[in-house]
Amino acid sequence: MSSTTTRRSLSPAPGIAGVVAVGAALAAGELAAVPISPDASPYFAVGSSVVDLSPKPVRDWAIDTFGTADKLALFVGMGVLIAVIAAACGYLERRRPPLGSLVVAAFGVVGVIAALNRPNATWTHAVPSVVAGVVGVLVLRLLLAQLGPRRAASRKDGVETDGAETDDVDARPAGRASMSRRFVLTAAGVAAVAVAAGAVGRKMLTDTAGVIADRARILLPTPRTSAPPVPDGVDLSGSGATSFITDNDDFYRIDTALQVPTLTTEDWRLRIHGDVDKEVTLTWDDLLAMPMTERIVTLTCVSNEVGGDLVGNARWLGVPMRDVLELAGVKPGSDMLLSTSIDGWTCGTPISDVTDGRDALLAIGMNGSPLPFEHGYPVRQVVPGLYGYVSATKWVVDWEITRFSEAKAYWTTRGWSAMGPIKMASRFDRPADNSEHPAGEVVVAGTAWAQHTGIERVEVRVDQGPWQPAELAAEYSIDTWRQWRFPWQATKGEHTLECRAIDKLGRAQIERYQATAPDGASGLDDHVYTIV
Ligand SMILES: Nc1nc2c(c(=O)[nH]1)N[C@H]1C(S)=C(S)[C@@H](COP(=O)(O)O)O[C@H]1N2
Ligand SMILES: [Mo]
């Protein structure tokens, strides 16, 4: 720390002060949110607002690039961005006080706006962001004060020298070292307290002990109508294809929730209102008193790319949605079931698809256990044949009967189609794309789905040659995916294989490529193999 050699170099101290101050602010915000609501956390309120305000291309890009890790990517991205701005605030405050403080305070204001605009927010949700803003400004000033007075900016040569070293030496020749040590100690102390406070706050905000105990107490009822057993020949995973049933832990997860809602069965209600004969509010006990149906249904996300894996197949237990609607009575003329989750996400499902006899379920069980928290505990929807964004509301608490001409759901206001029937698709599961194999028989296997119509045939072609039939696994039901295998006599060289499905109505899968927006991807999956 020579005072003469660092005249023009940027001292890290103001930047560190900024980062520590904003870190302390965020930690204080977490702690202050504890008595209010997890949604009041400034970090999560802003993050959730970023998610909700992201234009469609950004969301597409995020899901394409990060897949189901898009939330982690958002957290990391936000963290880095905040740290950079925070460091800049430190320098700004050092050079042009109180500009840095003002930017930190502006962060707090952004938090207030974000928190107040979350669904179900009350004015108290502003408090943690106010606390965060105040703590941020105070810590920033405290830390910068430790650096001692700053010499008036030297503008002789148009270049400003920053601070700590040169300025402090000039101002307080004897006191610099101890001042610097004091800064380091203070900054480290504040950082340590902030990390501890933030961790405690986060732990208390995500204290899932209550809801974990709630879930552990559930004894799933015996279904009135059980799912037919899975016969031999349905699951070809012996050949390396995806297993017919997707384990809960492996099931893809897509939602806008940055914090998984923690809703107990005791607190759960489903309010049914709008164009109904009479408003009804169901409790968990009301729901459990109704006859349960168990069905295996394949769920698909509209963001699933050609060949993608945002699709899963599970055994669901629940009450037919039609029976629940009958309790309230749907008025003629209404065509949309607008469902809302506890975190305010909305979904518009055609009433005709819920009442036409398909197994649309208000589900409480997934593969023999209560719904996992990430998959909608305690109650979610499952509707065969429709993409998740128009059918599969998790943590569902509200049903409004309305019309497509009157209401728009979450993704429809963000550029996605109001209607979302699942497009038929087929994909390769094995062997891996771009892998190498010896000449001779190579068994290629995959999965195809055409929910609620059923897969009739899957075909494979090699190097744009004629379509050849693949061997199909036994069909479980028209609502589930179907596996296939293709024993291929591979010859030396590089080959491109493509697959396509044909449904029970004789329609072939759409070959023309379309990206996922606005109503689901189409096009043929292909794998390239090198045969040696
Ligand atoms: N509350 C809520 N439910 C939701 C969503 C959401 O963002 N919030 N996303 C939907 C989408 S787009 C899909 S594809 C399915 C995914 O369900 P899963 O996560 O159980 O696989 O949930 C649907 N239900
Ligand atoms: Mo989705």
| Under 8 Å between Cβ of 498 and 513 | no
Q: How far is CA 486 from CA 239, 428, 447, 524, 531, in A?
A: 10, 10, 11, 16, 16
Q: Which atom of ligand 1 is nearest to the CA of 312?
A: 21
Per the prediction, the chain carries an average pLDDT of 90
Give the pLDDT of residue 71. Answer: 84
455: left (phi > 0), else alpha (psi -120 to 50), else beta? Answer: beta
Q: How far is CA 68 from CA 156, 254, 397, in A?
A: 54, 7, 25
Pocket test for ligand 1, best of 394, 411, 449, 519 (most atoms within 8 A of CB): 394
* Ligand closest to the CA atom of residue 397: 1
- Cα-trace Rg, the chain: 29
Question: For 518-531, what is each residue's pLDDT tens digit?
Answer: 999 999 999 999 99
The one-letter code for the residue type at 256 is T
Query: Lowest mean pLDDT: which of 48-52, 147-151, 271-275, 320-324?
Result: 147-151
Q: What is the spatial distance between Cα 374 and Cα 395, in angstroms, rounded to a whole number? A: 9
Q: What is the spatial distance between Cα 103 and Cα 506, in angstroms, rounded to a whole number? A: 62
Give the pLDDT of residue 169. Answer: 41
Mean pLDDT of 88-113: 94
Question: For 341-365, what is each residue's pLDDT tens digit?
Answer: 999 999 999 999 999 999 999 999 9
Q: Is the pLDDT of residue 451 over 70?
A: yes
Mean pLDDT of 296-318: 97
Angle of the 70-95 helix axis to the 42-53 helix axis, nearest 10: 120
Q: What is the spatial distance between Cα 68 and Cα 235, in angstroms, rounded to a whole number? A: 25
Lookup result for tokens 């961005």: 81
Protein residues whose CB sits closer than 6 Å to any atom of ligand 1 = 251-257, 299, 301, 341, 345, 375, 388-389, 392-395
Tell which residue, 163, 17, 164, has the closest CA to residue 90.
Answer: 17
Question: For 356-391, what is each residue's pLDDT tens digit?
Answer: 999 999 999 999 999 999 999 999 999 999 999 999
Q: Which atom of ligand 1 is nearest to the CA of 343?
A: 1
Q: What is the spatial distance between Cα 440 and Cα 459, in angstroms, rounded to a whole number? A: 20
* Residues 6+ away with beta carbon under 8 Å from 12: none
Q: What is the spatial distance between Cα 179 and Cα 241, in angstroms, rounded to a whole number? A: 66
Q: How far is CA 321 from CA 38, 349, 356, in A?
A: 30, 11, 11
Give the pLDDT of residue 153. Answer: 46
Give me the sign of the Cα torsion angle 346, 56, 376, 312. Answer: positive
* Bridge partners, 139 (sequence order): none
- Count other Cβ atoms within 10 Å, centred on residue 309: 17
Query: How many whole angstroms from 161 Cα to the centroid of ligand 1?
Result: 53
98 cis-preceded (ω within 30 degrees of 0): yes
Question: For 195-242, what is each residue's pLDDT tens digit?
Answer: 999 999 988 888 777 899 999 999 999 999 999 999 989 998 776 668
Q: Are strands 311-320 and 361-366 parallel, antiparallel or unpaired?
A: antiparallel
Tell which residue, 412, 399, 360, has the closest CA to residue 275.
Answer: 399
Q: Which atom of ligand 1 is nearest to the CA of 253?
A: 19
Query: How many whole angstroms from 388 Cα to the centroid of ligand 1?
Result: 6
Give the pLDDT of residue 9. Answer: 63
Q: Is the pLDDT of residue 3 over 50?
A: no
240: left (phi > 0), else alpha (psi -120 to 50), else beta? Answer: left
Query: How many residues belong to the chain?
Result: 532
Q: Are strands 369-370 and 361-366 parallel, antiparallel or unpaired?
A: antiparallel
* Ligand closest to the CA atom of residue 263: 1
Give me the sign of the Cα torsion angle 305, 307, 309, 312. Answer: positive
Q: Whose CA is nearest to atom 24 of ligand 1?
A: 393
Question: For 150-179, what is each residue's pLDDT tens digit?
Answer: 665 444 444 444 444 444 444 444 434 345
Q: Is the pLDDT of residue 395 over 70?
A: yes
Give the pLDDT of residue 517. Answer: 87
The one-letter code for the residue type at 185 is L
Q: What is the spatial distance between Cα 1 and Cα 16, in angstroms, rounded to a whole number? A: 16
* Ligand closest to the CA atom of residue 303: 2
Secondary structure in 3-state letters for 298-361: EEECCCCCCCCCCEEEEEEEEEEHHHHHHHHCECCCCCEEEEEECCCCEEEEEHHHHHCCCCCE
Q: Is the pLDDT of residue 444 over 80?
A: yes
Q: What is the spatial distance between Cα 227 and Cα 232, in angstroms, rounded to a whole number? A: 15
Q: What is the spatial distance between Cα 33 and Cα 21, in angstroms, rounded to a whole number? A: 18
Pocket test for ligand 1, best of 68, 254, 343 (most atoms within 8 A of CB): 254
* Bridge partners, 458 (sequence order): 501
Give the pLDDT of residue 171. Answer: 43
- Count other Cβ atoms within 10 Å, centred on residue 170: 17
Give the pLDDT of residue 156. Answer: 44
How many angstroms separate the first and last alpha carbons of the chain?
A: 63
